[in-house]
Structure 1
Amino acid sequence: MLTYPKGDNPLTKLIHPTAVIHPNAQIDPTVEVGPYAVIGDRVKIGAKTTISPHVVIEGPTEIGKNNRIFPSAVIGLEPQDLKYKGAPSKVKIGDGNTIREFVTVNRATEADEVTEIGNNNLLMAYVHVAHNCVIEDHVIIANAVALAGHVHIESRAVIGGVLGIHQFVRIGRNAMLGGMSRIDRDAPPFMMIEGNPSRVRSLNLLGLKRAGLTTEDVGYLKKAFRLLYRSDLTLKQALDELGNLENNQYTQYLLRFLQLSTTGEKRRGPIPGSNV
């Protein structure tokens, strides 16, 4: 624990006296640390981040500025992976995130690998982020969601509560996943997805509006949606047709995402459409 001569500690009002902090932890002077929090070796925490009571942070972990970490969150412990052999893997968290009660974020499996959370994300209570996951920016994950290893969630996705995401699955940007769904394949960007088994139900029109897409951009995505999920074409045929649409950045992004999703030994293909 950090110790100071009486009266010499400039952080007295910000670090509770019951907090246990390793001498090698690097904590900005503006960080608040609550009662009974434990901050371990090789932890770095940026300015104006708040660490609530009973939070545990082990290293190597780097946390940026203006984050709020709520009681009993546990960050930076070793992965729940039988392949883990003690490598100095990492957790890296950006700025402006809200990490609610009992969230767990595990380190990656191999040396120099990272479990990474970007900026301005909301992880609600009991979310589990497993080894080697990547969460980009402005993502909302509702309560009791479990991310298996190597899950990648792109920016501005919204994940409904009480669902599981299979290992190596990618969630596309601006996708919205309905609560209690089973997500065992890549979730295409810009779509609303729900069910067990999960299916693409519609475009995420509200999410697209919030993201600032123009009416013209949404029109292109509507054409793409009809090709992919409301025609009699196979996925390969639909992707060929999608490549022939007018050159729009969002439809081209969707095309690249789906092409990647159908290749590689870790890929199972994207979540299919629904007839509903």
Structure 2
Amino acid sequence: MISPLAYVNPEAKIGKNVEIGPFCYIDKNVEIGDNNVLMNSVTVLDGARIGEGNTFFPGAVISAIPQDLKFAGEETTAEIGNHNTFRENVTVNRGTAAKGRTVVGNNNLIMEGAHVAHDVFVGNGCIIGNTTKLAGEVIVDDFAILSACVLVHQFCRIGSYVMVGGGSRTSQDIPPFIMAAREPIAFVGLNIVGLRRRGFDKNIIDNIHNAYRILYQNTKLQAERLELIKTEVPQSKEIDYIVDFVKTSKRGIIQPA
């Protein structure tokens, strides 16, 4: 299953039923689990920890050192979960002393030319579009969709079930369950189609809508608006998530168009 034209360091740990194509390079201090497919010209460098059932298309580079001038060669990792797809020329850098690791969860699709920088955390079931770039220490929660050519500033957080329009750029957090687009980026409504596809109940969608109506249309201070959401909208894990996301945002959330 390993091409004679590939290089695999003797110290690398390779699981069962792993395909490694020609011109791949597997460095020392690498762990690759079972049933992974590395097509030709995939590079896996020091610090990679790869789960099971992932597919890496040609040109992908996993666990390269961070593009961060503060990086001093510390031992860090790039941790890949299970059943992800990394299309052509995707780059995933390993962590720095800030967090020690970059993490991509399970069942994600990372499309051609996307970049996942140092200390990023990508959850599960996400889609990262062609040439989208995630800067250092970005967090992408589960089931978020970032369309093509999206630029995300360092330290930003993208909420679950978000749809971010192609070509957008953000230097603020994007709260969950919404659509974000335009220039400058703005809240443009709920991701209703995405929520329905994921099986959200109509009452839950209505409650999410009411929460954002209070958050974005009320003129009170943000802390007061969050308290209104807690008292006027029926409690659920989705509403708690919205309130906690906004309350803990370090860069502030995007605003309506």
* TM superposition score category, shorter chain reference: over 0.9
- Give the number of aligned pairs: 256
Kept after mapping to 2: 8 A contact 1:220/1:248? no
Cα separation, 2, equivalents of 1:94 and 1:268: 28
State the one-letter code of the partner of 1:257: F
3-state secondary structure, aligned to 1:208: helix
Corresponding residue to 2:222 among 229, 232, 235:
235
Corresponding residue number in structure 1 for 2:57: 70
Cα separation, 2, equivalents of 1:31 and 1:151: 30
Corresponding residue number in structure 1 for 2:254: 271
Kept after mapping to 2: 8 A contact 1:163/1:179? yes
After superposition, the C-alpha distances for 1:92-112 in whole angstroms (9 at most, x for unaligned) are: 000000000000000111287
Cα separation, 1, equivalents of 2:202 and 2:66: 44
Q: TM-score, normalised by structure 2?
A: 0.97
Corresponding residue number in structure 2 for 1:157: 144
3-state secondary structure, aligned to 1:237: helix
Cα separation, 2, equivalents of 1:232 and 1:255: 17
3-state secondary structure, aligned to 1:192: strand
Kept after mapping to 2: 8 A contact 1:27/1:44? yes
3-state secondary structure, aligned to 2:200: coil
State the one-letter code of the partner of 1:54: S
Aligned runs of 1:60-209 on 2, under 5 Å?
60-110=47-97, 113-209=100-196
Corresponding residue number in structure 1 for 2:201: 214
Larger radius of gyration: 1
- Deviation of residue 219 (structure 1)? 1.2
Cα separation, 2, equivalents of 1:111 and 1:213: 36
Cα separation, 1, equivalents of 2:251 and 2:104: 25
- Deviation of residue 273 (structure 1)? 1.6
3-state secondary structure, aligned to 1:91: strand
Q: What RMSD in Å do the two structures reach over aligned CA positions?
A: 1.2
3-state secondary structure, aligned to 2:96: coil
3-state secondary structure, aligned to 1:115: strand
Change over 3 Å in CA distance of 1:112–1:131 after alignment to 2: closer
Change over 3 Å in CA distance of 1:22–1:100 after alignment to 2: same
Cα separation, 1, equivalents of 2:47 and 2:117: 16
- Deviation of residue 16 (structure 1)? 0.6
Cα separation, 1, equivalents of 2:240 and 2:16: 46
3-state secondary structure, aligned to 2:246: helix
Cα separation, 1, equivalents of 2:99 and 2:198: 34
Corresponding residue to 2:17 among 30, 38, 48:
30
3-state secondary structure, aligned to 2:204: helix
Corresponding residue number in structure 2 for 1:264: none
Cα separation, 2, equivalents of 1:132 and 1:108: 5
Cα separation, 1, equivalents of 2:234 and 2:123: 28
- More displaced 10-residue stretch of structure 1: 212-221 or 80-89: 212-221
Kept after mapping to 1: 8 A contact 2:99/2:119? no
3-state secondary structure, aligned to 1:102: coil
Corresponding residue number in structure 2 for 1:10: none
Kept after mapping to 1: 8 A contact 2:98/2:119? no
3-state secondary structure, aligned to 1:200: strand
After superposition, the C-alpha distances for 1:134-156 in whole angstroms (9 at most, x for unaligned) are: 00000001100010000000000
Cα separation, 2, equivalents of 1:188 and 1:109: 26
Change over 3 Å in CA distance of 1:213–1:112 after alignment to 2: closer
3-state secondary structure, aligned to 1:81: coil
3-state secondary structure, aligned to 1:125: coil
Cα separation, 2, equivalents of 1:260 and 1:175: 18
